[in-house]
Structures are given as C-alpha cells and as structure tokens.
Amino acid sequence: MQTTRYQVTPLDPNAHVFEVRCTVDDPDPAGQRFRLPTWIPGSYLIREFARQFVHVRAEAAGRAIPIAKEAKDVWRAAPGEGPLTVVAKVYAFDLSVRTAYLDRTRAYFNGPSVFLSPEGRESAPCTVELIPPSGDDFRDWRVATTLESDGAPPHAFGRYRAANYDDLIDHPVEMSDFALASFAAGGVRHEIAVTGRQQADLERLARDLARVCQWQIDLFGNAPQSRPPFDRYLFQITAVGDGYGGLEHRSSTSLVCRRDELPMRGRSEIDDGYLNLLGLASHEYFHSWNVKRIKPAAFMPYDLTREGYTRQLWAFEGATSYYDDLALVRSGVIDDARYLELLGRAITQVLRTPGRHVQSVGDSSFDAWIKFYRQDENSPNVVVSYYAKGSLVAAALDLTLRKRGRATLDDVLRALWERYGRAGVGVPEGAIDAIVAEIAGDDMRDFFARFVHGTDDPPLAELLDSFGVDFHVRAAVNAADRGGKPSTAPPPTCWLGAKVAKDLTLQNVFTGSPAERAGLAANDVLVAVDGVRASADLLDKLATTRSAGEHVGVHAFRRDELIVVDVELAGAPLDTCWLTMREEPSGDAARLRQHWLHG
C-alpha cells in the first residue's frame, strides 16, 4: 500500500492555527473518505477533535477539488485522479496533554487531534514532515518526539515516519526551545524534554527517574538482562504555574506539572511537589507495559469512532496507580515511612467517596465515558474512581497473595505480560480474574465478586496488620487535610456534610449528610450561620465547638433567592487514614513487610 504523507506547519502561532496536510497518491476513485478520531487512547471521553478543524480544502494534481462533510468526523473528496491532498487548518489552544497547543512559546500536538485517516488505508505506512514556524523568534526551536526519523537529524525539523496510522498517532510531538536531559535504563536511552520557564535540577530528575525506570524494566523483564519493550523513551514535560496531568504512549509520555514540582537546584530532599511529579512519571512509564501493550481486548484494535467498553480499567489504571508509588519505595527513591504516607492518602481519598458504596470499580470502568470523565456536583455520591479504589483493590490483591505465600501481584503482571502483552493479544473480559485464580492456586472468586464487581471496601486494615503495619483513622481537621499522617490540630466535634469552596459555595452535598437532610444543595452560597455572617473561619470554629445533635440555623442563597434551613449536626466521619510501621513486628510480619516493600 502506498505511503500516506502528512505535513504539519505551526502556521500562525498568534492565532493558534496549525496547517496539516494529508496526501494520498492513489485515492479511492469513487471519492476518498477521511476520518478523524473522536477520542484519544488513554483518556476515555468522546472529545470530537473535529470541532477544532476550522477550514478544510482539497486539491488533486495541484488543482482545487470539492470536499464535503458526510458526518461530524468524516470528509469525502470528489472523485478524481491522485495524488490527492487535504489541507486542514486546526485551532490548537488546549494546554492539556490530550489535544494540541500552539503559541509563540511552543507547538505541541497529539496525532488524533490533527491527523486525518484516509479510510481503507489504516495499515499503510506514513511519513510526517515537520515544518518550523517562520520567523527569527523560533530559530531556537527543536523537536522532541519518538516518531522514527525518516531523515531528520536528532531533535530537528524534517521528515519522520510511522508503520501505520495506529503508530502515527501514538507519538505526540513537542516543538519549542525545551531543556533536555537524558539517562540510560535497561540499556536504552531515555530523554526528558522540559518546556516552560524553569531553573530545575534536571540532572537530579534524570538520576531519580533512572532508578524508577530500571526497577520497572526489571519487574517485567526478569533482571539482570532485562530490556524494555522499546528502543528509546521520552518524557515530555510542560512546566506551568498551576496544572497537572499525564498521558501514556508506547514509547513516550506527555506530562503537565507545576513549575515548583520540579526538583530545585542545591536541594536533596523530596518535597511533596517533587514526589507528586515522580509519582506521575512513574505512573505513565508503568503504562508502557500495563495498557499500552497488555491491553483490554476491546482496544485491539482501538475503534476511535465510538466508545470502547471494558470493565477492566480498574486493573489497567488501578494496578498502575498502585505500582506508581510502590516503584518509588522499591527502587529506593523514597523510604518506607514516606510510602506509607502516600498509601494512607490514597485510602483517605477513597474513604471520602460515598460513591464507592454505589458503584463498583468494574462498573466505573465501563461507564468511564459518561461518569468518571464527566463529573458533576453529585459525582462523589455515586461514582467511584477506578484509579483510587482500583489502586486499593490492587494493593489488597497483592497483600492477599503475599499472605497466602503462593505468589504476588508482580507474578500476575508478569503472566499478563508474557501471555498478552509480549504476545500482542488483547486481554479478554474476565481473563484477569482467571489468571489470578490460576497463579494463586486458590479460588479468588469471592475477592473479585466483593471488591471488583461489588462495592465492598477491600479489607486493608486487616491485611496490613499481617505485614506489621497499623491502620488508623480520624476525622479530617480542615479542607487541606489529605490524610497520610496523624494530626495535632483539635479534632472536629461535628460535621455539616458538604464541601464548601473558599467563596462559601457548596460544591458537593454528601448523601445522607446533615446538609442534605436539612435541604441544602450544591451551588447554594452560605450567607449566615446562627444569624452571624458566614466565613471560612466561622465554619472552622463551628466544626470544633459544636456537637453532634445540636441545631444551627443556616441562611443561604439558592440562585438569587434566600433560603433558611435548620441543620441538625452529626458526628464527623472517620474518613482520614494514616499508617504506621509496627516497631517490633512478629517474625512473619517482618518478613512479609520486607518482601512487600523491598522485594
């Protein structure tokens, strides 16, 4: 099949417009159809990338020919002789890792949001010509991508290639004057390209990531000869004032982080911000195996025209969320106490979600498209995160297997890698349950029925006890309290049952809470409590001075109408967890804990 040729030009940085050309030498004589994906793998929401195609025209053998839309995501060119070129102007001003962005500081794109797919030619090889923006302002710009070079020197504009359309759209491209660092892991060169103003210690970031990456490579690859399943890897990082996000690809990842999460020069401690960035990078790297190669059968191949349904995202995102932080302690980047703090925070996040008793992580996976990715004021009451609870289910599964002494979750992942990932076979629905049962040599049906397909809380307190780790809960002391450690602040004595924003708007009203019973609702704005003007201070004072069973009068605006309600306060829920290492664990517990945290 003839090569599909693409060309991308950052045409007008001030107007945020790329020009993207797609040329087919032997178009369908009946009129070639072109399709744009509606979603990007890894982010389960119909995004309608065609929304940002602001102008589309076609030419054949140098002459303009008609092209018309046949559906929201489909164009058809008039019948004619080749070569046929479609020229699209694409608006790009989304700073997230999922679409595309262009201004005078950088150009970035993900393939699904810019590359039209000529129908019937999905398996044809592709080339991409990357053209620099015109003007002296851009002469320091370079290119960071894992698209294979087709003549372009390293980090240069020029020609790149991909094996087929699926490969083409899995290598996001960064064009800017990024800073660059590199390291080796598994005998393979890894690069870190950082865009945005920053003065970080990138050498330190490279050293820490090298340990984390090597540990992951060894997990799947049977150290010491282990090699990763790619021959180079790229971390694309965009540093901003405030932002967070990551998206995995087969040999790269795009991350957005806060500038102050990058490691500072002259420092050696790992603060919470840097820990957040390391966890994110570790998470996306783990996906190189778990979801990019070990994939649900529903994604083999991806149907990017509509939703792809699977009940397994809890395993792909949840297990990845469990291993992202675990890799930090197992690789020696953080110590045991720091890891337990992170696990305590993850448990806290789930304990604060009443929706965990309404939706299973299996159902949350299936409905990701309309629920997890489209959250509203009621989501905490009815939706559970297949990331957060999924990570606790993965932890409980690992600890259960370890306690039985037969195997670990590492063995399950290696089996999935050998049978599905390395073999290039999709994981059918239900196959993970079966592999766990086979490896554990025990019937694990009850575990999956209760914690994956049902809404029970995984029994982490009981499991951790066998590992010499004590599980504690307390009430949250304020809005900034994420759990993970004990608190010396006075504990709250009562609870309103709503999440209140700084401007006193109720963001969420929790199921069965005093606020809900009194008739308060999300978006109500608090005006006064017991006749005194409401403020964040007043609410904090209320929480530590009043008791369960007491009544308070609340004035609030709903839309522009004043409402007055009587709230009967309840006791504060014990939804904040922290974990501690038992100082003198039994011999069994000490051995289990050592194996779990240090292999």
- Closest distance between Zn ion and the C-beta of residue 283, in Å? 5
Q: How far is the CB of 320 from Zn ion (least distance, A)?
A: 5
Task: For the CB of residue 40, give the shortest distance to Zn ion in the complex, in Å.
Answer: 13
Residue 287 CB, nearest distance to Zn ion (Å)? 6
**Peptide linkage before 66 cis (omega within 30 of 0):** no
Task: Say if residue 538 is exposed, middle or buried (CB neighbours under 10 Å; 0-12, 13-18, 19+).
Answer: middle
Residue with Cβ nearer Zn ion (317 or 398): 317
Residues 6+ apart with CB under 8 A from 320: 283, 286, 287, 290, 291
Closest approach of Zn ion to the CB of residue 49, in Å: 20
Task: CB nearer to Zn ion: give 204 or 389.
Answer: 389
Nearer to Zn ion, 97 or 435 (CB): 97
Subset of residues 256 to 285 that bind Zn ion, contact rule: CB under 5 A: none
**CA 307, chain centre distance (Å):** 18
Q: With beta carbons less than 8 A apart as the criterion, state whether 107 and 236 touch.
A: no
In the complex, the smallest distance separating the C-beta of residue 41 from Zn ion, rounded to whole angstroms, is 11
Subset of 558-597 contacting Zn ion (CB under 5 A): none
* Of residues 313 and 494, the one with the C-beta less far from Zn ion: 313
- Per-residue tokens: 439: 């490896």
Of the pair 16, 371, the CB lying nearest Zn ion is at: 371
The token duo for 443 is: 């019937």
Q: Which residue is nearest to Zn ion (CB)?
A: 317
Piece of the chain touching Zn ion by CB under 5 A; list 171-179, 309-317, 495-503, 533-541: 309-317
Which is closer to Zn ion, CB of 192 or CB of 291? 291
Q: What angle do CA 106, 108, 111 make, to 5 degrees?
A: 165
Q: What torsion do the CA atoms of 393, 395, 399, 400 make, to the nearest 10 degrees?
A: 10
Distance CA 66, CA 128 (A): 24
**Smallest gap, in angstroms, from Cβ of residue 430 to Zn ion?**
22
Q: How many residues bind Zn ion (CB under 5 A)?
A: 1
Using alpha carbons, list the distances in angstroms from residue 283 to 173, 215, 287, 328: 20, 13, 7, 10
Taking alpha carbons only, the member of 201, 361, 365 closest to residue 299 is 365
Closest alpha carbon to 146 in 136, 138, 154? 154
Residue with the two structure tokens 């629920």: 371
CA distance 299 to 295: 6
Question: Cβ 291 to Zn ion, closest distance in Å?
Answer: 7
SS3 70: strand
Backbone angles phi, psi at 66, to 5 degrees: -70, 145
- The residue (of 13 and 308) whose beta carbon lies closer to Zn ion is 308
* Residue 170 or 317 having the CB closest to Zn ion: 317
The pattern of x and - marking residues 310 through 339 that bind Zn ion according to CB under 5 A reads: -------x----------------------
- Residue (246 or 380) nearer to Zn ion, CB: 246
State in angstroms the smallest separation of the CB of 317 from Zn ion: 5
Contact in structure between 395 and 322 (CB atoms under 8 Å): yes
Residues binding Zn ion (CB under 5 A)? 317
